[in-house]
Amino acid sequence: MTQGSAVGLAERLGQRINDSGPLRFSAFMDAALYDDEAGFYASGGRAGRGGDFLTSVEVGPLFGAVVARAIDRWWDELGRPAPFTIVDAGAGPGTLARAVLAASSECARAGALDYVAVERSDAQRAGHPTGITSSATMPAAPITGVVIANELADNLPFDIAVWDGGWRLATVGWQSGRFVELLAPMPDDLAPLAACLPVKAAHGARAPLAVGAASWLRDALNRVARGRVVLIDYAATTATLAARPWRDWLRTYRGHERGAHPLLDPGTQDITADVPLDQCAAVLRPPDTSSTQAAFLNRHGINELVAEGKRIWAERAHIGDLIAMQARSRLRESDALTDPAGLGAFTVAEWLVR
């Protein structure tokens, strides 16, 4: 990221506002994260220890090993079709793909697994491993299989409702070379999402309107002929979010640190929000199952993988090779992935398509 490109993006957005009027926050966020030249994800922002934030996928290979077991169960439940397509949506640099392939699921050994990593950012797609399909867009033909999205929905553009005697829309203006917030009437097209807002709130209360997540989910459901869509993310209800301080649910990140105000320096920091899944349920349909990440991982055998890790460590500790180290690391990874005050509290929502 060069300072020049970030300044360029701010000026381009400012020009756009001068030409066509204030932007919705969702449009500002879309440019700040995904502008082809200077968006945060286009210019090097990424998950991982060396990146800007740590996801379950980046904790280590255990998360992918559990997902590989889930894939086998889902494959089995559908009668072991071939191909069985896994669409890893918002795949980042392909870390989940690597872990799933390394876990060597039965579905993969049978030659049925067709793994498609869908990632919008060219820079991140460049890191995808061989042996999978890497794509900027979702598969065109409906799949038999599973669309799985880990920490994608929180990064999809959202709008912001503000209580000012009634719910109004926060838009982004450009004044004296700075972005400023301007309140506007709530537009009709946001009414279905805004219907989830509480009837009253404290003056200045805010809540996200999940335009990007709802439209992504609608599209994902349409692309599954038989199977499921699995969304894993930090989620909450709209009413809960409206009652919380807004900087608590609307977060910015840069190099593992909390970032600046979301209207500052577009392109230089990640912008993310807790996902109001009740809005997706209201405009589409409620998930068929919803559980915590800890419960999901338990259901798909994380404890067995940890027990196996302990056994391998006991056998190979004296050798101290990579296999021994990876086995020992499962215990630490499991603690992080199931932490009830952290990743373990994430929501795993599943929509079945039969």
Ligand X SMILES: C[S@@+](CC[C@H](N)C(=O)[O-])C[C@H]1O[C@@H](n2cnc3c(N)ncnc32)[C@H](O)[C@@H]1O
Name the segment binding ligand X (CB under 6 A); options: 52-60, 168-176, 221-229, 254-262: 52-60
Listed in sequence order, the residues at least 6 apart from 266 whose beta carbon sits closer than 8 Å to its beta carbon are 6, 9, 10, 13, 28, 31, 32, 35, 38, 179
Of 284-313, binders to ligand X (CB under 6 A) are none
Distance CA 241, CA 276 (A): 8
Confirm or reject binding of residue 269 to ligand X (CB under 6 A): no
Decide: is 151 part of the binding site for ligand X (CB under 6 A): yes
Contact between 252 and ligand X (CB under 6 A)?
Answer: no
Rounded CA separation 100/111 (Å): 14
120 binds ligand X, rule: CB under 6 A: yes
We find the least distance from the C-beta atom of residue 83 to ligand X, in angstroms, to be 21
Q: Rounded to 5 degrees, what are φ and ψ at 180?
A: -130, 155
Q: Angle, to 10 degrees, between the axis of helix 302-316 and the axis of helix 322-338? A: 150
Burial of residue 157 (CB within 10 Å: 0-12, 13-18, 19+) is buried
Query: Of 16-24, 85-93, 165-173, 297-305, which segment contacts ligand X by CB under 6 A?
Result: 85-93
Decide whether 39 or 301 has the Cβ nearer to ligand X.
Answer: 39
The least distance separating ligand X from the CB of residue 219, rounded to whole angstroms, comes to 9
Among 155, 326, 334, 338, the residue binding ligand X under the rule CB under 6 A is: 155
Q: Please choose, out of 5-13, 115-123, 163-171, 326-334, the segment that lies near ligand X by the rule CB under 6 A.
A: 115-123
Residue 92 interacts with ligand X (CB under 6 A): yes or no = yes
User: Which is closer to ligand X, CB of 121 or CB of 144?
Assistant: 121
Q: Which C-beta is closer to ligand X: that of 152 or that of 196?
A: 152
Q: Is 251 helix (H, G, I), strand (E, B) or coil?
A: strand
Taking the complex as a whole, how short is the minimal distance between the CB of residue 46 and ligand X, in angstroms? 7
- Beta-carbon contacts of 17 under 8 Å, excluding residues fewer than 6 positions away, are 23, 172, 173, 174
- Position 128 contacts ligand X (CB under 6 A): no
Dist CA 157 CA 37 (whole Å): 18
55 is an interface residue for ligand X by CB under 6 A: yes
> 231 phi and psi, to 5 degrees?
-115, 125
The least CB distance from residue 58 to ligand X, in Å, is: 5
**DSSP letter, residue 47:** B
Question: Under the criterion CB under 6 A, does residue 333 sit at the interface with ligand X?
Answer: no
| Between 98 and 120, CB nearer to ligand X | 120
The CB-of-151 to ligand X minimum distance in angstroms stands at: 4
Comparing CA positions, the residue from 245, 304, 329, 335 lying closest to residue 66 is: 304
Q: Which position has the token pair 């799933």? A: 100
**What is the contact surface with ligand X in residues (CB under 6 A)?**
41, 47, 55, 57-58, 89-92, 95, 118-121, 124, 150-152, 155-156
